[in-house]
Amino acid sequence: MEERIIIAGFGGQGVMAMGQLLTYAGMIEGKHVSWLPSYGPEMRGGTANCSVIVSSEPVGSPVVVNSTTAIVMNKPSLDKFEPSVNKGGRLFINSSLIEQKSKRDDIEVYYISANEIADELGNMRVANMVMLGAYLEATKTVDVESVLEGFTKVFGENRAHLIPINKEALERGAQAVREQMKANV
């Protein structure tokens, strides 16, 4: 098993944190993991992305060129990373901000209205967790419990009070995927 994931969006959408949570969860489960951020002369509102690898084997190159999964939070990220998803791979699109449909018919595509769902939960900042929940439901790469266990490691003990809302966001993302799967049958 080797998941090679690209997570991309605007700076501030929590794409780096999403990647770190997934990486931490993989480590907790004893898998081989790496997390590599894009870095550069970035500007506010610019794009950010990270490469995450969760594998049963030691990680070779930490750079994800061709992904098994791409999670895109905004339109520029869709344009940039849609073409490099491996055939048979998965693409998670934040349909709250991206109206466009995927051009690919050789991959599984999930449309998650992450911002709307986060808004319903009363905290726009958990949109990333909605996407992560959707990803975990579709791929089962790691358990949701492991992500929650890693939560305070990434955000600090003083953020522990935010676990319930984040847990709910993960669950709502998972629910969105289940509904889509049912609709596609």
57 vs 120, beta carbon nearer another protein: 57
Report the nearest approach of another protein to the CB of residue 111 (Å).
Answer: 30
DSSP code, position 142: S
Report the nearest approach of another protein to the CB of residue 113 (Å).
Answer: 30
Match 């791409």 to its residue by tokens: 70
Report the nearest approach of another protein to the CB of residue 157 (Å).
Answer: 14
27 vs 174, beta carbon nearer another protein: 27
Match 């550069």 to its residue by tokens: 40
Strand pairing category for 47-55 and 2-10: antiparallel
d(CA 89, CA 121): 30
Write out the residues near another protein by the rule CB under 8 A.
20, 23-24, 27, 33-37, 39-41, 59-63, 65, 153
Provide the β-strand partners of residue 148: none
61 vs 100, beta carbon nearer another protein: 61
33 vs 136, beta carbon nearer another protein: 33
Report the nearest approach of another protein to the CB of residue 61 (Å).
Answer: 4
d(CA 18, CA 38): 14
Q: What residues contact residue 83 under an 8 Å CB cut-off, 6+ apart?
A: none
Report the nearest approach of another protein to the CB of residue 60 (Å).
Answer: 3
53 vs 144, beta carbon nearer another protein: 53
Are 156 and 116 in contact by the 8 Å Cβ rule? The answer is no
* Residue in 89, 100, 78, 57 with CA at minimum distance from that of residue 8: 78
